[in-house]
Amino acid sequence: MASKDLPMRLVLFALLTVLPLIEIALLVKFGQLVGVWLTLVVVVGTAILGAGILQRQGFTTMMRTQEAMMRGEPPVGAMMDGAMMVMAGFFLILPGLITDTMGLLLLIPPVRHFVARRLVAGMFGGADVHVEVFERESRQERRPGSGSRGVENGGPVIEGDFERLDERTVDPRNKDRPGDKS
């Protein structure tokens, strides 16, 4: 087991064992405070809300992704926003006050965008990311016999490379990296 895996294992352990125990204790206390029926209304109501969000989100994300692509923009924002909404729906379906609060917070766009940025930064935190966007040639500009590659209706072709900084063989402080044109 690598030492980098230990924190993730602890987080997973906490999520799968400690969080449900805390959720049960909070639901019992909440039930004692406001009554069993209101507690059931909250738990069932947020589960129905979460299920509705999950049901609607697949189609909405697909439509927003297509719209972004038609505008010539990378669909990453629409996909991340959709993923955050799915996460909100999932949290709302789970019975418990902590997960319901997390789900409700993810329904607020600034909170959702903040969490999405943090997740992306965490995924690519140690990486040097380069993205290039190429416009497709139109049918009129295409040479006869050159064949067709990709979508016929145009739009950008996005090609990207990334390199993990901790896997580099070249000193990252060296400004003269191979491939740089200075």
Q: Annotate the chain with three-state secondary structure.
A: CCCCHHHHHHHHHHHHHHHHHHHHHHHHHHHHHHCHHHHHHHHHHHHHHHHHHHHHHHHHHHHHHHHHHHCCCCCHHHHHHHHHHHHHHHHHHCCCHHHHHHHHHHCCHHHHHHHHHHHHHHHCCCEEEEEEEEECCCCCCCCCCCCCCCCCCCCEEEEEEEEEHHHCCCCCCCCCCCCCCC
User: What is the rounded distance in angstroms from the CA atom of residue 138 to the CA atom of residue 149?
Assistant: 12
pLDDT of residue 105: 96
pLDDT of residue 120: 76
Instruction: Tell if the pTM clears 0.85, that is, is over it.
Output: no
Q: Is the pLDDT of residue 180 over 60?
A: no
The two tokens of residue 50 are: 């979460």
Contact 128, 55 (CB under 8 A): no
Number of C-beta neighbours around residue 180 at 10 A: 8
Q: What pLDDT digit, counting tens, does each position of 52-100 carry? A: 999 988 788 888 888 888 888 888 888 888 889 999 999 999 999 999 9
Q: What pLDDT digit, counting tens, does each position of 153-171 carry? A: 566 666 776 666 666 565 5
pLDDT of residue 143: 47
The two tokens of residue 40 are: 């059931």
pLDDT of residue 134: 46
Place 182 in a pLDDT band, splitting at 50, 70 and 90: very low
pLDDT of residue 148: 44
Q: Is the pLDDT of residue 31 over 90?
A: yes
Place 8 in a pLDDT band, splitting at 50, 70 and 90: confident
